[in-house]
Amino acid sequence: MCFSCFTQNFWNLLVLGLADGFLYALVAIGYTLVYGVLQLINFAHSEVFMSGAFAGYFILNGLIGTGSPHGLSSVAYVVIGIAGGACGGGVIAFLLERVAYRPLRRRHAPRLAFLISAIGASFFLYNLAGKEFGRDAVEIPAPFTNGPVFSIFGAQVTTYYIVIAVSAIAMLVILDRVVAGTRLGKGLRAVAQDAETASLMGVNIDRVVSQTFVLGGLLGGAAGFLFGLNTGVVYTMGFTPALKAFTAAVLGGIGNLRGAMVGGLLLGVVENFGAGLFGTQWRDVVSFGILVLVLLVRPTGLLGERLGRSA
Amino acid sequence: MGYLGTGTLTGTEPARAGGGAERPRLGWLRRLAASDDARRLGACVAGFLLLAVMTGPEGSSLAPTSGFSGSLLHPRVFAFIGLGVGLWALITAKRRYGDRARRLSEAISAAPRRLLPNRLARYGIYLVALAFAIVYPMALSQFWQNVLVDQIGVYVLLALGLNVVVGYAGLLDLGYIAFYAIGAYSAAYWTGALPVHPPITLNPFWAIPLAIFAAMLAGVILGAPTLRLRGDYLAIVTLGFGEIIQIVATNLQSVTGGSSGPASVIPHFSVNLLGVHYKWGLGDLPYYYLLLGFVVVILVTFHALEGSRVGRAWTAIREDEVAAESTGINVLKYKVMAFSIGASTSGFAGMLWASQVGYIDSTLFTVQLSILVLVLVIFGGMGSLPGAVVGAAVLQWFPWFLRVHPLFGFQPEDLFIYLGALLVVMMIFRPEGLLPSRRRKREISLAEHGEGTADAMTEPEGAEP
């Protein structure tokens, strides 16, 4: 315990926490969306995150190589990287639903079977990635020069944080509009509220479920790329962030989109405050402690579970 | 093409999905995609191509496609495509001439049952198996005796414990190895091997009850609050718990020795009781027989448990939690019981293993091991004692067999690719496992027809939706 480390670094920790929080929020959305339509935890979402990071890495590696872009080209590379990460995540999420979920859904398999199949898919994917792409961490070539842009109360806000915040907010707003306003969103909400009735009304459940996985996969993959920009890309990278994102989803109320956003930000901040208090090696323990605490005290999360209402 | 195979389409939907105007040129493609045969062929070939990649050469971060091209742009790919087509032909033939094939396969699978008309014959088989398990290891080489203890015996014990949690109670525990770690660290603590010293230093044999108690206590502490919640929350909490135990063991260096382990060695077992003196040493066989003895005791105990009031309560909870609750079964109590029985078995296995190996460190207790034990249970058959034993033995022996014989080019670090794929394939095609418990198999098929749940994943009564 070190209160002075905490108070001295308060603003730094806050900035760091918000940056982490935006990423958790993006990943948490994936859990919450799938939970909304299937009432299942998608254990393989961590691998969606990892695939996004790898996709972004390969694309930027091919485009940038050893150069150091700046100005408008930086913006373009960031957008390309995010789009590539999102596509990677989306493709893996789509395949995941097809292979590990749909056959079981057809058979009305017990829920235990879904969880086991998803865990199996997760192990399959990340170990295969380790085999195919090498088992050492690699760095994504920097699309921009990272450096302090401005500071709040002495805490320096770097380009990286701004990139995360801007792109995450943009994606979250788009998602919010998609779920609230489009035909896909309507179908999604209908299935979340009552799948059987929705199918009687002509909603094609299979397609909605598939689209939901892809939607979550897009955000998760983009988050994977953004995360990988800072920490590097390695095949085991998905596990811990995904566990935390799940915590964020539960914290905000699973099935609740805005809850996932709020939960992500809150978890990021609290976790970094905890790290400031107890030391960084206890970071993961802090967020896991929060998960257990939330489940004990308020299992429905801060904003409550709301399946199938527009955000 | 999801809409092609389902019965839930409406009149407007296919047109919209087709993008308005249909292109007649691709009509044949659509018809092909709509045909079940073609889709099955595609799935078979895709599956085997994936297998070609799994077994193919490794890639690297500099040449990410080299692994794929080395396995797919290589003559070996034709063998895999051939296997895929062959499998498809088999499936198609089975669908065409299924009745005759089914009768044949039923006759074959019924034959052992006819040979085992009564309990006596079954006990005979068990006795023969036991005799085999006693005699055969003596003929093995040093290497295989070691594998038999460290890789098979200990994992049979672990699988038996997890079988209670997953098989009997229908709960998913993904942090099972955390209790194994707790058992191992208790053994190290009570024998004075850790940097912190116990009030009295014990021989590992006397540390057994303490290690079991510590693991059980951890199980109750973790289980009692989380088992009130949905079953899938338990899975994720245990997953996190497994990670936390490892982090704590790494970070508390002054207590556990951290990732480099404690400096002193955990002593071997010895018994000094009522005139019997025996000390287990470096040899593997004595430990093997010790393990075998414990496995037999646990098998008998769990078999009795399965048929007891407790076992029937678990069955009731699995089949229909609400109905079980309304007949007066205290659901939470029985879930916690199953969870802590599993935890203490795991702790016991960890304790045994630690005193055999003599050394532990925090890097050994990874989440992979939890998943490995889960695969052993699923493969053998959830809820089936012979399944757990045979599944663990076969699945733990096979990678070692592949590793020893260089012919197969098996890379140990690829193991979890295969195990992960095995879990998915088992869940799709044979969720009841290799040697299913008859009851569990019936439950799963009943659940698929809308009766009961076959797991304990439903929300307990009283929890807010």
**pLDDT tens digits, B110-121:** 666 665 556 677
Average pLDDT over chain B, rounded to an integer = 80
Cross-strand bridge partners of residue B279:
B270
Domain extents in chain A = 30-242
Which pLDDT score is estimated for A310? 47
The number of domains in chain B is 2
In a domain, B465, yes or no: no
Six-digit token string for A283 = 């970071």
B229-252, pLDDT tens digit by residue? 777 788 888 888 888 888 888 888
* Of A29 and B135, more confident: A29
Which pLDDT score is estimated for B8? 39
Q: What is the sign of the dihedral through the CA atoms of A238, A241, A247 and A251?
A: negative
Residue ranges of chain A with per-residue pLDDT less than 50: 310-311
* Of B61 and B171, more confident: B171
Which residue from A108, A130, A285 is facing B247, i.e. has the nearest CB? A285
Q: Could you tell me the pLDDT band of residue B458, with boundaries at 50, 70 and 90?
A: low
> Has residue B130 got a pLDDT over 80?
yes
In a domain, B120, yes or no: no
Which pLDDT score is estimated for A70? 77
Same domain flag for B326 and B203: yes
| Pick from B113, B150, B157, B152: nearest CA to B438 | B113
B174-211, pLDDT tens digit by residue? 889 999 999 999 888 888 877 777 777 777 778 888 99
Residues 6+ apart with CB under 8 A from B73: none
Choose, out of A132, A201, A239, A295, the residue to mutate when testing the contact with B (most B CBs < 10 Å).
A132
Contacting B residues, span 283-312, partner chain A, CB-CB under 8 Å: none
Same domain flag for B301 and B387: yes
Q: Quick check: B42 contacting A, CB < 8 Å?
A: no
Phi, psi (deg, nearest 5) at residue B5? -95, -5
In a domain, B461, yes or no: no
Spatial contact of B345 and B160, defined as CB atoms under 8 Å apart:
yes
Same domain flag for B182 and B74: no
Spatial contact of A119 and B422, defined as CB atoms under 8 Å apart:
no
Same domain flag for B159 and B81: no
Helices A183-193 and A205-231, packing angle to 10 deg: 110
Phi-psi map region of A232: left, alpha, beta (phi>0 left; psi -120 to 50 alpha): left
Give the global pTM. 0.85
First-to-last alpha carbon distance for chain B, in angstroms, is 34
> Has residue B104 got a pLDDT over 80?
no
Which residue from B53, B423, B455 is facing A120, i.e. has the nearest CB? B423
Which pLDDT score is estimated for A157? 87
Indicate the length of chain B as a whole number. Answer: 465
Same domain flag for B414 and B319: yes
Same domain flag for B91 and B153: no
Q: What percent of chain B has pLDDT over 70?
A: 85
Pairwise CB contact (< 8 Å): A128 & B417: yes
Which pLDDT score is estimated for B10? 38
Pairwise CB contact (< 8 Å): A210 & B2: yes
Same domain flag for B194 and B228: yes
Q: Which amino acid would we find at residue B15?
A: A
In this prediction, residues B114-129 reach a mean pLDDT of 73
Same domain flag for B20 and B134: no
Helix (H) or strand (E) holding B256: helix B253-256
Same domain flag for B225 and B103: no
B425-434, pLDDT tens digit by residue? 988 888 888 7
Q: Could you tell me the pLDDT band of residue B462, with boundaries at 50, 70 and 90?
A: very low
Cross-strand bridge partners of residue B272:
B277
Same domain flag for B290 and B418: yes
Residues 6+ apart with CB under 8 A from B444: A109, A110, A113, B431, B432, B454
Distance CA B427, CA A114 (A): 8
Phi, psi (deg, nearest 5) at residue A197? -60, -40
> Has residue B14 got a pLDDT over 50?
no
Long-range contacts of B198-205 (CB under 8 A, 24+ apart): B203/B267, B203/B269, B203/B270, B203/B272, B204/B266, B204/B267, B204/B268, B204/B269, B204/B351, B204/B354, B204/B355, B205/B269, B205/B270, B205/B271
In a domain, B453, yes or no: no
Helix (H) or strand (E) holding A91: helix A72-96
Pairwise CB contact (< 8 Å): B413 & A103: no
Same domain flag for B133 and B92: no
Distance CA A159, CA A164 (A): 9
In a domain, B406, yes or no: yes
Which pLDDT score is estimated for B97? 73
Burial B216-239 (b: 16+ CB within 10 A, else e): bebbbebbebbbbbbbbbbbbbbb
In a domain, B117, yes or no: no
- Domain of B97 in residue numbering reads as 2-56+67-107
| Pick from A146, A174, A175: nearest CA to A161 | A146
In this prediction, residues B318-342 reach a mean pLDDT of 90
> Has residue B22 got a pLDDT over 80?
no
Would the ipTM clear 0.90, i.e. be above it? no
Which residues on chain B are in Cβ contact (under 8 Å) with A119?
Answer: 174, 371, 374, 420, 423
Which residue from B58, B60, B236 is facing A41, i.e. has the nearest CB? B236
> Has residue B459 got a pLDDT over 60?
no
The torsion angle over the Cα atoms of residues B404, B406, B412 and B415, rounded to 10 degrees, is: -100
What are the angstrom distances between the C-alpha of A230 and each of A143, A164, A233, B57? 11, 11, 9, 30
Spatial contact of B289 and B147, defined as CB atoms under 8 Å apart:
no
Which pLDDT score is estimated for B13? 40
> Has residue B3 got a pLDDT over 60?
no
Which residue from A112, A246, A299 is facing B170, i.e. has the nearest CB? A112
Q: Quick check: A108 contacting B, CB < 8 Å?
A: yes
In a domain, B419, yes or no: yes
Which residues on chain A are in Cβ contact (under 8 Å) with B178?
Answer: none
Pairwise CB contact (< 8 Å): A111 & B3: no
B214-234, pLDDT tens digit by residue? 999 999 988 888 888 777 788
Alpha helix positions (H), B273-330: 284-307, 309-319, 321-326
Same domain flag for B89 and B161: no
Six-digit token string for A101 = 């979920």
Spatial contact of B463 and B232, defined as CB atoms under 8 Å apart:
no
| Pick from A145, A92, A101, A138: nearest CA to A119 | A101
Spatial contact of B148 and B284, defined as CB atoms under 8 Å apart:
yes
B309 CA: distance to closest CA in chain A (Å): 24
Which residue from B9, B243, B428 is facing A103, i.e. has the nearest CB? B428
Secondary structure (3-state) at B433: coil
